[in-house]
Amino acid sequence: MAATSIKNLKEFSTSNDRFEGAHTLCPGCAHSMIVRELMNCTDDNLVIATNTGCLEVSTAVYPFTSWDTSWIHIGFENAATAAAGAEAMYKARKRKGSLKDNDAPVKFVAFGGDGSTYDIGFQWLSGAVERGHDFTYICLDNENYANTGGQRSSATPIGATTTTAQAGSHSYGKKEKKKDMIAIMAAHGAPYVAQLAPNKWKSMAKGFQKALETEGPCFINTVSACCTEWKFDPKDTIGITDLATDSLIFPIYEIIDGHELNILYRPKNVIKVEDYLAAQGRYKHLFKPEYKHIIELIQKDVDDKWNMLQRREEARI
């Protein structure tokens, strides 16, 4: 393992970029912050598979590629399977000694958006994790199908307006709650499952390094603020992510071996979810008097979840 030093930002900044610019992601997109950080936090060779989604269509616009590592794109659902297959082949060839460099450390990573992780690629991901392949799956969770124009996914939280769950006079947007993917993946018994956010770069880099080091399937859900579909100014990407982690909408925590929960970030001043919702255009309608109760509902859910996480951490379960 040749992990880059992440003691502080100055040390970290001496690492060399392996995710190149001039991809066509929106200005201010958090996807590239997350991907860049993953590729910078290790010197090992990386084999990366990517589901269809914003990241894939933007980083491989023919005739260009933004990836300085082995990278494959196949279908909407099967990045997990592709990474698992590549890893199985690597192990077999390593055993036979038929690799070009048998000692070179290689890490397998799969990227998917929330659509391809929570919905379309769910079965593939579940299968690959159950089979215990040594790879890291990173979900770039922007809470909708941003690549195709912002349809609802099962990661879209309650109350958000999307193109297929529109808010209006008869609806407050999506009516269903967000799927708890971290709990589902932890229930698979995966050795490392975490939820991380790019504004806390250090805990994110630490989590990435831990996941890459850990043998077996690791799952990381990262918060990726989407300026286009969440409807905020691109310059506020980090600010919105700060609000998300400080209001505990996205608590940052890890679950080891499915039963050891650690909270990685405790905000000094917990803010109300109202502040987070107010900063985004997709929740604008919730501030009308008839939909005010949804904000209270979201606040209650967030508080309950935070209590649950704290109790679990205390009880070491």
Stretch that binds another protein, among 65-73, 110-118, 157-165, 287-295 (CB under 8 A): 65-73
Stretch that binds another protein, among 83-91, 158-166, 234-242, 259-267 (CB under 8 A): 234-242
DSSP letters, 229-278, are TTT--GGGHHHHHHHHHHTTSS--EEEETTTEEEE----SSPPPHHHHHH
Q: Name which of 103 and 215 has its Cβ closer to another protein.
A: 103
- Site membership for another protein, residue 64 (CB under 8 A): yes
Q: Which of 7, 63, 170, 268 binds another protein (CB under 8 A)?
A: 63
Six token digits for residue 197: 């956010």
Q: Which of 48, 49, 56, 67 binds another protein (CB under 8 A)?
A: 67
The CB-based long-range contact list for 57-66 (8 Å cut-off, 24+ gap) reads 57/24, 57/147, 58/23, 58/24, 58/25, 58/31, 59/19, 59/23, 59/24, 59/25, 61/23, 61/24, 64/22, 66/19, 66/20, 66/21, 66/22, 66/23
Q: Name which of 32 and 142 has its Cβ closer to another protein.
A: 32
Taking CB under 8 A as the rule, which mask of x and - marks residues 151-180 in contact with another protein? ------------------------------
Q: Which of 7, 96, 98, 101 binds another protein (CB under 8 A)?
A: 101
The three-point CA angle 235-9-270 to 5° equals: 60
Q: Give contact residues for another protein (rule: CB under 8 A).
A: 2, 9-14, 16-25, 27-33, 36-37, 42-45, 59-69, 101, 104, 198, 201, 234-239
